[in-house]
Amino acid sequence: MESSACRIAAGVAIVLCLVGVAAPAARPNLLVILVDDLRADALGYAGHPFFQSPNIDRLAREGARFDDAFVITSLCSPSRATLLTGLYTHEHGVRSIWHRLDPERPTVPKLLQNAGYATAWIGKWHLGGDDAPPLGFDRWVSFVAQGSYAHPTLNVDGERSEHRGHMTDILTEYALDFLSEAREAPFYLTLSHLAAHTPYLPQLHLKGRFDGQNVGEPRSGDEDRGQKPGFLECRRVDRIEDRTARGYFELLAGVDESVGKVLDLLEAQGVLDDTLVLFTSDNGYLFGEHMLSDKRVAYEESMRVPLLIRYPRWFEAGTRAASTLALNLDIPRSLLEAAAVPAPVDMRGISLRAQAAGERRREEFLYVYYREINLKNPRAECTPDIAALRTLEEKLIVYPHTEEPVELYDLRADSGEHVNLASTTQGRERVEKLSRRLHTLAAELSSDIFAEDDD
């Protein structure tokens, strides 16, 4: 696909033809970069032992980083629906990977489009089985379900067409074209990468980049499974192969290159500082911790996500948001706040600007996962309903409607959640107190995760 932006590639350099770049708008541009299955600790700025992500790290260095950021449901489709609506999973109704988002429901792109923003979604959608453009987007580039990394078929504004090349490169090129269009209105763009979802098939120039790195040993595979729920045995993995894990980071290297190209374009246009750039993931991922892979469970590796925002009007360079639990639930309200667009009365979330400034603080939140059936995925289908209360210092995990044991972790002393304290004398007292708070919070939010218990 040829670019319309007068770009001339010379190695990694990009020469840009700056024609028709509008003066900075009073309302900011909004750019959300969404990565698939990206763990919070998988990036350079987070201290990864070998993976370097200089372009993503730039966002952390020049903006705000929320080191305690989480999703409220660690699964692709529910998480994406929350990012669009600012609602809990039971409120927007997308409980599994095949549920559709109600087309009548207010979403961030609809609200921004109605407020005069030019809107685009480029990349993975995965809110229902098809890729038909929903309401709220002036530009639409997506694909059915998980799509394909190599030579994908894309739906471009309602028309399917075949493309040559790698998905990451193709989506990036579409994003650069959208960003290069001359327009008076501010823009809202979500660039939603398929990377780093399985299967791990990176661009050819990145394949083998991390050969020799030993990245496949589970870091908590020797823990006592006696105090863990029995359903985990059906999801057990003895180790993650090095080649598999290296492919994950090779895909992430492609995402980092993509971020660099986008930032370079915005900077060359002179609009980078007038653009709120938000980088995050739909959920985390387990690479052998607790002898598990995938996500869905309520352990830290599954729930934690990176969350970075570069926006000089709000954040000084290097801002660290401390003593607050930021959620994907907060992103829609924050985007609308930046755009000065009123949020719907039922939208949840707390402003990320206010949290970083210390004006607001979240000390606990409710995590839920609803059991999925008929997926032809035994590891998913054996995972029951899950409810968890995550505070600044502790976590209580329960499995409603089952006989699975309760889990209690002191996250100050045991950040890897190796030792379940629920059966200890002191732990039983904490379980009782946190369980009351968990049920109270679920009731306050009208969550139905415990509904069968009340019948």
Secondary structure element (H or E) that encloses residue 106, with its range: none
Q: How many CA atoms lie within 13 A of 259 on its CB side?
A: 27
Q: How many CA atoms lie within 13 A of 454 on its CB side?
A: 9
pLDDT at residue 17 greater than cutoff 80? no
pLDDT band, very low/low/confident/very high, at 342 (cuts 50, 70, 90): very high
Q: 3-state DSSP helix/strand/coil percent for the chain, to nearest 5?
A: 30, 20, 50
60 phi and psi, to 5 degrees? -70, -40
CATH code, 159 = 3.40.720.10
First-residue to last-residue Cα distance in the chain: 57
Query: Which of 5-9, 123-127, 155-159, 362-366 shows the lowest mean pLDDT across its residues?
Result: 5-9
| pLDDT given at position 12 | 34
Is residue 371 domain-resident?
A: no
Is residue 144 domain-resident?
A: yes
Task: Note whether 34 and 335 are within 8 A (CB).
Answer: no
How far apart are the C-alpha atoms of 339 and 404, rounded to whole Å? Answer: 46
pLDDT band, very low/low/confident/very high, at 232 (cuts 50, 70, 90): confident
How many structural domains comprise the chain?
1
pLDDT band, very low/low/confident/very high, at 7 (cuts 50, 70, 90): very low
Q: Summarize pLDDT for 370-397 with one digit per residue, the tens.
A: 998 766 777 677 899 999 999 999 999 9
Question: Rg for the chain (alpha carbons), in Å?
Answer: 21
Q: Find, among 386, 365, 279, the residue nearest to 59 by Cα.
A: 279
Sign of CA dihedral 198, 200, 204, 206: positive
Q: Ramachandran region of residue 212, left (φ > 0), alpha (ψ -120 to 50) or beta?
A: left
Task: Note whether 122 and 177 are within 8 A (CB).
Answer: no
5 phi and psi, to 5 degrees? -105, 10
Is residue 414 domain-resident?
A: no
Is residue 14 domain-resident?
A: no
pTM: 0.92
How far apart are the C-alpha atoms of 345 and 294, rounded to whole Å? Answer: 35
Is residue 191 domain-resident?
A: yes
Sign of CA dihedral 372, 378, 380, 382: positive
Is residue 248 domain-resident?
A: yes
**What is the extent of the structural domain holding 216?**
26-360
Does a cis peptide bond (omega within 30 degrees of 0) precede residue 54? Answer: no
Is residue 444 domain-resident?
A: no
Is residue 37 domain-resident?
A: yes
Q: What is the dihedral of CA 197, 198, 204, 209, to 10 degrees?
A: 80
DSSP codes of every residue in 305-341: --EEEE-TTT--TTEEE-S--EEGGGHHHHHHHHHT-
Q: Summarize pLDDT for 278-337 with one digit per residue, the tens.
A: 999 999 999 888 888 889 999 999 999 999 999 999 999 999 998 999 999 999 999 999
What residues form DSSP beta bridges with 123? 192
